[in-house]
Amino acid sequence: MLREIGSVRQDSDRGLRRWFQDEYFDLFVWLDAAGTPLAFQLCYERNRGEGAITWNSSAGFVHDRVDAGEPSPKRSMTPMLRADGQPPYFRIYNRFLAASTACPTELRAFVIERLREYRLALYGIPRKPRRARAPRHC
C-alpha cells in the first residue's frame, strides 16, 4: 500500500513534489501552486530491475530502466535512467490500482487517467472483445 513520505526535498523550479512509496513502487508527483498535477514519475520493481514511467504535459510519456551503475569502487555507481522500450504495462497498472487506494483521491485519479492514456499510446485503441462462438457440431 502506497504511503506518503514526509519532508520531501523540494525543487522550487518544478513545483511542489510529493512522494509515495511501498515495497514495489515509488510515485513522485509534482504540483503547481493550486495543487494541480504537472508531472509524475512511477518507479516500479524497486528492488530488482527497476523501471520508471514518467509523464509531463510537454514531453508526454517516457519509459526508462534504472541503470544502477557498476558495483566496483573504481567504477560509476550513480544510478541513471536509460531508455527502455515497452514496460510490463498491465502488471504495473493492475498493481498500481491495488496499491494506491490510500493515496489522495485526486492524485490517484490523475495518475490512473494518465496510465490509461499511456495504454492507448502503447497499444492503440483496444477493440471490443469478440464473443466466443459456440462450437459447430456436424
Q: What residues of the chain score a pLDDT lower than 50?
A: 138
Residue 104: inside a domain, yes or no? yes
Residue 46: inside a domain, yes or no? yes
Instruction: Provide the domain limits for residue 19.
Output: 3-70+77-123
Q: On the CB side of 37, how many CA atoms lie within 13 Å of its CA?
A: 23
Residue 100: inside a domain, yes or no? yes
Assigned C-alpha cell, 128: 471490443
Q: Report pLDDT digits (tens) over 92-120.
A: 999 999 999 999 999 999 999 999 999 99
Count of structural domains within the chain: 1
Q: What is the pLDDT of residue 27?
A: 97
Residue 119: inside a domain, yes or no? yes
Residue 129: inside a domain, yes or no? no
Residue 54: inside a domain, yes or no? yes
The helix/strand/coil state of 88 is: coil
Residue 12: inside a domain, yes or no? yes
26-31 and 37-44 beta bridge pairing? antiparallel
Residue 24: inside a domain, yes or no? yes
